[in-house]
Amino acid sequence: MTTKLETLPSGLTIVTDRMEHLKTASLGIWIGAGARYEEKDEHGISHLLEHMAFKGTRRRSATDISHQIEAVGGDLNASTGYETTGYYARVLGSDVPLALDILSDILTQPKFDAAELRKEQGVILQEIGASNDSPEDVLFDLFLGRAFPDQPLGRPILGTVDSVRSFTPAKLREYLGRHYCQPRMIVAAAGDIEHDSVVLEIAQRLSKLPVTKAQSAMAAHYAGGQVLGSRDMEQAILTLGLPGASYLSPDYFATMIFTVVLGGGSSSRLFQEAREKRGLCYSIYAYQQPFFDTGFVGIYAGTDPADSAELMSVVVDQINDTSETAGEAEIARAKAMMKVGQLGVLESSSGRADQLARQMLAYGRIVPMDEIVRKIEAVTVEDVRAAGRRLLAAGKPTFAGLGPGNGLESAARIAESLQRRAA
């Protein structure tokens, strides 16, 4: 695989990776702006804008967009995150020009028809309703709202019923013009592609987009604390979080390995102690969520409400113990799992294109896979233990619980002891 990178005078960056054995190509346009860049009166507009991009342009109706891409066997999709928004396609290599034309069209000439906007607002209200019906989604929203209160990072990406209903075509255009500027955009493509052709197409098709530097996101401030939600459920679901490493932190890989040792996979400490030895849960895992300037490590589990306090005691004990006793063998397992996960991305053109774009947005460069592997291998036992101790000392833990009331209060009190033990 050969990676090529080019930055246009406008600041727009194009990165490609030709994968000789493939006949298809994955490509997309990623913008370094998402829900985190919204003002209070814009809550949910990033996600709505992503939806409206496919609802018609000055050259194509919504039906035209779907018919033209599917006529060549391709597909279009998009996603909105807190820090990025992506619009992408997968087609045969011979149809890359068509995909680039459609993607460029929806970003440079969106129609934002008022009737289509009203319909899509209704669709998103249904999406919000579905999310509210999902206990895991509700729990995660509670958690982020407590961890990052009164900040965009603490607000659900979908917005609220009132905020989504409030948006107008003019508001969408204003937000797009303010954030969808060329210096903040990455075009990434992988598979059966020709770099020079992609550069030529993009230079022509995205030239109308603004070249001014877009505004930055609000700085994140992790608060911690606890929040409990009551819901009639068979299980109680719990999340405990600690402030962690950003993408750019020197502790990023050590923190990730600590997280895998703690709760990544069936050999992890949490799985073995909470599920295999005590039978307290069906699902339990730890995860690392980095952002550009902050991050957190979270632990999720579901259990019988009566077992909530015991389960949280196990979680607190395992976090503390892992920060002191993480060993060579389990760290080696975690490294192997991480390497397989990282290398697996290279086997998919869509995964590779996504990785290229996100690396450019996070680091401003393509990080070679051998460099990633070296950094993983370079982490020592003491590095992992130190990363765990830094998590414990970083700030007040965040606890969110959802379910019947029995046991949640006790679990929350035990979660708070994590900070007291670390102090």
- Give the active site residues: 50
Strands 13-18 and 185-191, bridge-based pairing? parallel
Place of tokens 């829900």: 35
Q: In what order do the strands lie in the sheet with 185-191?
A: 2-7, 13-18, 185-191, 24-31, 85-92, 75-80
Reference 106, options 164, 55, 140; nearest CA is: 55
In 192-267, alpha helices (H): 195-205, 252-263
φ, ψ at 367 (rounded to 5°): -95, 115
Q: Distance from CA of residue 284 to its chain's centroid?
A: 20
Q: Which residues share a beta bridge with 16?
A: 4, 189
| Beta carbons of 103 and 91 less than 8 angstroms apart | no
**Cβ neighbours of residue 203 under 8 Å, at least 6 residues apart?**
8
φ, ψ at 79 (rounded to 5°): -150, 150
Reference 357, options 128, 23, 30, 37; nearest CA is: 30
Distance CA 411, CA 312 (A): 6
Q: How far is CA 80 from CA 52, 84, 86, 262, 398, in A?
A: 12, 6, 7, 29, 25
What are the percentages of helix, strand and coil residues in the chain, rounded to 5? 50, 20, 30
**Cβ neighbours of residue 75 under 8 Å, at least 6 residues apart?**
69, 89, 90
φ, ψ at 21 (rounded to 5°): -80, -5
User: H-helix or E-strand containing 13?
Assistant: strand 13-18
In 75-230, alpha helices (H): 96-108, 114-132, 135-147, 161-166, 169-179, 195-205
